[in-house]
Amino acid sequence: MSKEFVVAVCGATGAVGQEMLSVLEQRDFPYSKLVPMASARSAGKKVDCKGEEYTVIEMTEDAFEGVDIALFSAGGSTSEKFAPCAVKSGCVVVDNSSAWRMNDECPLVVPEVNPHDLDWHKGIIANPNCSTIQMMVALKPLHDEARIKRVVVSTYQAVSGTGQKAIEELENQVRRLMSGQPVVADVYPYQIAFNCLPHIDVFMDNGYTKEEMKMVNETVKIMGDPTIKVTATCVRVPVFYGHSESLNIETEEKLTAADVRTILAKAPGIIVEDYPEKKAYPMAINAAGEDATFVGRIREDETIENGINMWIVSDNIRKGAALNTIQIAETLIERDLVRVP
């Protein structure tokens, strides 16, 4: 990465935008100039990266002139409006919203899984859903080895996936409950403190939520295999950072639990933490702030011939959002793809 680039962080004052700045600094991303952008409401605020203070500018249609890479974390409607403007200005966009994920013209990428899909980008690359990303990191090595037929996934998702207001709502509800005061639910339809909500995003006509269908549809696109069957139940839990997932996997070829441990221990981006005799397994409190996807509770499903159960945990704001976005940008640089065709 000898060349340096002009990089814009769009949505720089939000939770994911702030994490992007942190990841850019920690990974010493090669930028010659950093341009933090946000809405008019946040323009003028100050942000820090690599020891320098930057003033946030308003995101406008002509704000991308001279920018090489734009990292978007500003919501779907904002991305739909401004990402094409950025591309028109000659900028490559890596977008963290759901706006472009299922667009046939836009690669949907997890760098450990399908970096080759970046080769056909047309200016906009989509970052997958947070819960899909960590699942893909763990599934791809197993699919390569034994071909996955079916996945049943149940998620336990942190409130940070909804944003800063959800974090504050959980904090406030816990304080009020512990002091004997009634709670108010504004972000979620019901109290989230000391509760679990089997409802993330809107319900669809088939009875699944939009979040659940994201996992179904994004898996097929990322893996490039329409034969993989996925069914999901997504649950919001009173955890601040870190999504947890229970996976039941059926493969065409037999994998033992020992096989899975060996395969995943060699896979990029994964830390196997599977020592039940020591009560060692992945937990959200340990994954928070970490880059890796943690896998444990690996065991054979004794009800089917080729079945594996496992437990996956990852920081949804880092690997599930900011880190994966920046890893995509790094991979674009490595593959000499920082250009608009």
Structure tokens at 281: 């397994």
- 49 carries an active-site annotation: no
Contact in structure between 215 and 112 (CB atoms under 8 Å)? no
Which is the catalytic residue, given 49, 130, 143, 234? Answer: 130
DSSP states of 168-227 as a string?
HHHHHHHHHHHTTPPP--SSSSS--TT--BS--S-B-TTS-BHHHHHHHHHHHHHHT-TT
Which of 89, 128, 119 is CA-nearest to residue 331? 119
Report the alpha-carbon distance of residue 165 to residue 182 in Å, rounded.
Answer: 18
Contact in structure between 117 and 126 (CB atoms under 8 Å)? no
Which is the catalytic residue, given 85, 143, 234, 243? Answer: 243
Chain centroid to CA 60: 26
DSSP states of 147-165 as a string?
-EEEEEEEEEE-GGGT-HH
The half-sphere exposure of 12 on its side-chain side, counting CA atoms within 13 A, is: 29
Report the alpha-carbon distance of residue 139 to residue 131 in Å, rounded.
Answer: 12
Report the alpha-carbon distance of residue 20 to residue 136 in Å, rounded.
Answer: 21
Contact in structure between 55 and 29 (CB atoms under 8 Å)? no
Report the alpha-carbon distance of residue 61 to residue 84 in Å, rounded.
Answer: 9
Report the alpha-carbon distance of residue 177 to residue 124 in Å, rounded.
Answer: 45
Active site residues: 130, 243
